[in-house]
Structure 1
Amino acid sequence: MLIQKSLFQIGLVAKQSSIPIKTIRYYEEFGLLKASGRTEGGYRLFDSDVFSRLNFIKRAQKLGLSLSEIKEFLDVYDQGNLPCNQVKEKLSKKIAEIEQQIEQLQILKRELKELLSGEKINTQNLPATICPIIEQN
């Protein structure tokens, strides 16, 4: 007995996932999704697993992962393995990057506060000076 898989046209996939058709086409071109075929009219057809893949892609993007990183995970999954170890490693690196960005932002915040709290900033129109607040060292 042959079990027929449900196939969904790209328009329905876009509607149910709230992802524009153009984005779905791009994901396919990038290698994140694979169409299962086309209709006689040329519309892409996708298996029902496209919805879980799109959910994974959206969630991973919200976590700050790039499409290239997401593709690496999906490639591992498509080979029959769970990419959890790769995901953990990438998310750990992402945390380290965020901590570094926070540190850099704290330094910038201190610099800005120092500039604004400068006691006697000469704001007279000096030659070749645009704004002494920024140009002071």
Structure 2
Amino acid sequence: MFVQNESKLIGSVAKESGIPIKTIRYYEELGLLKTMGRTEGGYRLFSADVFTRLNFIKRAQNLGMSLSEIREFLEVHDQGDLPCDQVQEKLRDKLVDIDRQIQQLQILKQELERLLVRGQVLPENSAATICPIIEQI
């Protein structure tokens, strides 16, 4: 368990979280993470809650959230509120997008199946044709 006042060097955060230093720096640049300051040598220092934020960021990304959306959630959290209403709205939007993508993929699947069936009988080789399977309308 971490002591609340315990600070972590960026290298330690990277090692313990499995997230590269470069990514942690990028998250800080985007405002997703905040440092407690720097060491005399210029290394970033983070509080132990950085792991909670990193876990939230990764989980939200795995659910299809953009870093911009995640930043909005974290800003609400940093103001002392839970961003659950905003998260639910974004999750609903993601479901609509997924349904649209599924529909587009089903259409693409049907088109590919149709091309494969038609492509079983290929015409003679022609210099004006690259592959009739793809070129047929």
Determine the C-alpha separation between the residues in 1 that align with 2:105 and 2:118: 20
| Residue identity in the other structure for 2:117 | S
Distance 1:120 1:10 in 2: 58
Deviates more, 1:117-126 or 1:48-57: 117-126
TM-score (norm 2): 0.93
* Aligned residue type for 2:88: K
Q: Secondary structure in 2 aligned to 1:45?
A: strand
Structure 1 residues 9-36: Cα deviation after superposition (integer angstroms, max 9, x where no partner) = 1111111111011110010001100101
Across the aligned residues of Structure 1 and Structure 2, the Cα RMSD in angstroms comes to 1.6
* Structure 1 residue 94 displacement after superposition: 0.4
Deviates more, 1:127-136 or 1:64-73: 127-136
Aligned to 2:65: 65
In the superposition, the TM-score normalised over structure 1's length comes to: 0.93
Structure 1 runs, 4 residues or longer, greater than 2 Å off: 119-123
- 1:75 corresponds in structure 2 to 75
Q: Which residue of 1 aligns with 2:93?
A: 93
Alignment-mate amino acid for residue 110 of structure 2? R
Q: Percent identity?
A: 67
Q: State the 1:4 CA deviation.
A: 7.3
1:23 is matched with 23
Q: Which amino acid aligns with 2:102?
A: I
Mapping 1:1-137, distance limit 5 Å: 5-118=5-118, 121-137=121-137
Unpaired runs of at least 5, structure 1: none
How far did residue 120 of structure 1 move?
6.7
> AA paired with 1:97?
D
